[in-house]
Structure 1
Amino acid sequence: MMYRLFRYGLDSEAGASTMAALNHIHSRWRVSSDAFRYVLACFGIAPMRWCDTYAWRPVTEAEKEASHVFYLGLAERMDIRDVPPTWGEFARWTDHFEQSRFAATSEAGEVWAATRCLLVNRFPSPLAPLIRTAADALLDEPLRQACGARRTPRVVRTLVASGMRLRAQRIRRAHSRPDYRPVLPPSVRDSV
């Protein structure tokens, strides 16, 4: 659903029908405003921070603010109130929310186990123990504790972070070549 909103926009016919479906799905549960804002932050703040750390280049302030404008529009259409007006303020709100609310629960452990399983299943089965450990190393400390993930040895965390940064450098070099043409999935390629 999010990809439909990204591709067609919030105000398109496809965007309006997607928004109606999202609102219908979420109307079944009583969710606090803070929880809705935090989920919005998981879409709008967390990916930008990930890119700043592991992508081939950091996200610009203009890109962060443009993303935030999109999520402000999404919040308005879902009646999510009191979203901070700038990306930076929303990032600070998110940090405070996590510091005050993160706690280890069995449900968080189940969510992380399922997520880790998705990652592990993308690789040949003999690599499963290595991928599980690498996945745990990608979590920051507060999230690791909340999910009940094992603390990986420092050397593993360093190797995983270094591997992600090497990947980013390789992509950055490819992007700087004049003949570079990204390989896009068919759904994206068809819309360009």
Structure 2
Amino acid sequence: MPRRRWELRDRIAGLDPERDHLEIYQLSAGREFPWDYTRALEFALFRTYCVPSISRLLAATGEFRDRPQKRYDDTSLLMAEIAAHGYDSPRGREALKLVNRAHGRFAISNDDMLYVLSTFIYDPIDWLDRYGWRPPHENERLAAFHYYREVGRRMGIREIPAGYAEFRAFKQRYERERFVWSETNQRIGEYTVGLFAAWFPAVLRPAVRLAVRGMLDEPMLRAFGFRPAPRWVGATGDLGLRARARVLRFFPPRRDSVLGVSPRNRTYPGYPGGRRPSDLGADAPAAGFPAEHPR
């Protein structure tokens, strides 16, 4: 493997994961593993829909039923804006304001907010441990924790665990206790699988739906009420992702970050293209929204 391939890893190794967490996260998510972070965060959000209190709210808004692509694009672009520019930058603060306004309309428990935040840290790390072209450096693991801890503080999330292992333990405990089947889990899960499939030509969509099920672990399958895919489906996907990782080891390091840049975005083509974060986001809930959900 060319030595140059490791130059960003070596740079990350020389930084402090707490003091320099934003720089490390930008290098890791924007240059070292951009495709992996995108896929891992997609599945991280998918994972949160296994919690009935979360899926009930999402089902009530109708966003996943009526505008799943826009909902996906708004979430991914707002989070990318925060990462690309920093949570205390003008664009980062603007994006955070929109995220907080969207969440502030609803009665969301602090534990649910904590759990979603935890998936943004640990699901990408777990993905990279399996499918990254190299394992994440310890500084990348800790920097992700410190980065999202600061984002969480600015979102008003309380009682964020002070340590990396402690927050992972919270996530694992929460999943053991809260991952149970519900009708809204299944409905939001089906909308999400449909969204993923819609990114491909119609002839491939049944195979994509099968492949997505093959990527889900047993707790997710149970919580969604999905029938498991044949074992060979998951094994084939796993083999393909590991093969991709081996090939990427021989690629040169990426020179430019892709964070906050999405020219092929389906809802906002050419993003940012002169747009601001304030151009993103869901509309306010319609009249008649279920009374149990508004704050």
Q: Same fold (TM over 0.5)?
A: yes
4+ residue runs of structure 1 moved beyond 6 angstroms? none
Q: What are the Cα deviations for residues 32-53 of structure 1, in whole angstroms up to 9, with x where unaligned?
A: 1110101111222212212222
Question: Structure 1: which amino acid aligns with 2:178?
Answer: R
Residue among 40, 56, 66 paired with 2:133 = 56
Q: Which has the higher helix share?
A: 1
Alignment of 1:26 onto 2:103: yes
Q: Distance in 1 between matches of 2:238 and 2:256?
A: 24
1:118 shift after superposition: 2.1
Tell me which residue corresponds to 2:244.
167
Indicate conservation of the 8 Å contact 1:45/1:87, yes or no: no
1:124 shift after superposition: 2.1
Q: What are the Cα deviations for residues 68-99 of structure 1, in whole angstroms up to 9, with x where unaligned?
A: 11111111111211111222221121011000
CA RMSD of aligned residues (A): 2.4
1:28-177 → structure 2 map (5 Å cutoff): 28-175=105-252
1:55 shift after superposition: 2.1
Question: Structure 2: which amino acid aligns with 1:116?
Answer: V
Unpaired runs of 5+ in structure 2? 1-77, 264-271, 273-295
Q: Distance in 2 between matches of 1:84 and 1:171?
A: 35
1:188 shift after superposition: 7.3
Q: Distance in 1 between matches of 2:114 and 2:193?
A: 25
Residue among 69, 78, 86 paired with 1:9 = 86
1:122 shift after superposition: 2.1
SS in 2 for 1:45: helix
Q: Distance in 2 between matches of 1:143 and 1:188?
A: 29
**What TM-score does the superposition give when structure 1 sets the normalisation length?**
0.87
Tell me which residue corresponds to 1:187.
261
Equivalenced residue count is: 187
Q: Distance in 2 between matches of 1:105 and 1:137?
A: 21
Unpaired runs of 5+ in structure 1? none
